[in-house]
Amino acid sequence: MSNHAIKDRFRGYLPVVIDVETAGFNAKTDALLELAASIIRMDDNGELYVHETMEFAITPFAGANLEKSALDFTGIDPFAADRDAIDEKEALTQMFQKVRKELKSVGCKRAILVGHNAAFDQGFLNAAIERCDIKRNPFHPFSSFDTASLAGLAYGQTVLAKACEAAGIAFSNSQAHSAKYDTEKTAELFCDIVNSWKRLGGWAMATNQHSEPTMSDIFASGQ
């Protein structure tokens, strides 16, 4: 039995990476068109990895604004027959069911959103939750981990493509700006940053907290 549990890494919070593709920048008025989520797990060595990614094409809500410039940028046709889109509430219900199942499985109390420029994704997620009148939200309503900030610290890069390049993660600009692709790359980046910090001694796991110096130990010793 592993002594490494993801519930112990982030104070009982489970990181779930979210990316949205939208028809504009205003979460209250502009359509949510794609939603993807990657669930993060921890292996027996205390390393994070991407366990599963789910994706949803979403039908614009009634009265939603569709900015032409945003649609041109993403290349999404909101009304294309082959999108197999579902409404916001069904997408959120399906995603939340999987997240709740994972929370129960790993003993976490709540999910925490991980995103690249996380405030944008969190704003659209919360606006959709409010529109759909969903009362049981498994995510913390305002806390998040922002990989733009983390990558700026770790690699000196804040753009997702450049941060992935600095981390040695393959990135295709031609596949970017789909929710699934960007979610998976953001998840890989998040795992790489957290795992690299652990290898530097930045997080003392149960089995090595007495054998490997932590960053606090190093700073205290003046090394």
How many other C-beta atoms are found inside a 10 Å radius of the C-beta of residue 13? 20
Q: Is 177 designated active site?
A: yes
**88-106 helix and 118-131 helix, angle to the nearest 10 degrees:** 110
Give Dmax (Cα) for the chain: 63
Residue positions forming the annotated binding site for Mg(2+): 19, 21, 177, 182
Using an 8 Å Cβ cutoff, are 139 and 118 in contact?
no
Task: Give the 3-state secondary structure of residue 163.
Answer: helix
CB-side neighbour CA atoms (13 Å) of 117: 10
Q: Which of 4, 51, 177, 210 is catalytic?
A: 177
Of 166, 99, 170, nearest to 138 by C-alpha is: 99
Catalytic residues: 177
